[in-house]
A and B are shown apart, each in its own frame.
Chain A
Amino acid sequence: KQEVTQIPAALSVPEGENLVLNCSFTDSAIYNLQWFRQDPGKGLTSLLLIQSSQREQTSGRLNASLDKSSGRSTLYIAASQPGDSATYLCAVVKRANAGGTSYGKLTFGQGTILTVHP
């Protein structure tokens, strides 16, 4: 069974710091890994998608890396801002078995609650 773990559970940093969020998964047979942001009382916003054949993806101040063999991904946020405060979730889509488990199912970590204070 695929399990996804995110460390740390919560992080509080001053504005301007560079920071790293960690995500690990137990089964390396994945299609892709996706990072999301969730603001309180809101839905999930897709930040970055990394295919299993890729090593990293970048969007603005965000950079996500993937080491599939070791079951790890990191989300790097450069020059953090108060507007970055949110819960960050990583999720993987496991490759379907021959028996046909839930296709396209995202398995989520519990998230990292990020607070960036001015």
Chain B
Amino acid sequence: NAGVTQTPKFQVLKTGQSMTLQCAQDMNHEYMSWYRQDPGMGLRLIHYSVGAGITDQGEVPNGYNVSRSTTEDFPLRLLSAAPSQTSVYFCASSWSASNRAQHFGDGTRLSIL
């Protein structure tokens, strides 16, 4: 009964380093997305995917890349980490973007020094 699994749970990076946040779901959901949660800013959409091979930008995509080679996995890549990317990152998935509930993982807490 895994649902949406995110790894790692915590990470500390130095400015300029790159890394990949992993997200996997076992519900065969077509729609997946990444959000970041910041105090006072709430949750903001970074990137989303409506199916394998299809990705698009959300409202705060700069500094992040995504790919969707399989239905199950939707990794988020930080190209060159900046302190402004310190945040909690959540991955979500759903059968459909418009008429089904979206389910979230437990998050990755990322600090950039």
Contact = CB atoms under 8 A, between A and B. Distances in A.
A110 to B, nearest CB: 6
A43 B94 contact: no
B57 A102 contact: yes
Contacts of B26: none
Contacts of B48: 102-105
A107 to B, nearest CB: 9
Interface string A92-118: 010100000011111011110000000
A42 interface: yes
Contacts of B50: 103-104
B107 interface: yes
Interface in B65-103: 90, 92, 94, 96-103
Contact of B94 (A51, A91, A104): A104
A102 B42 contact: no
Contacts of B96: 104
Chain B residues touching A, range: 20 to 34
Contact of A43 (B42, B57, B99, B105): B105
A66 interface: no
A9 interface: no
Interface of B: 4, 31, 33, 35, 42-43, 45, 48, 50, 56-59, 90, 92, 94, 96-107
Given A102-B45, A104-B96, 18 more contacts: A31-B97, A34-B101, A43-B104, A44-B90, A46-B104, A49-B100, A89-B43, A102-B59, A103-B48, A103-B97, A104-B31, A104-B98, A104-B102, A106-B35, A106-B43, A108-B42, A108-B43, A110-B42
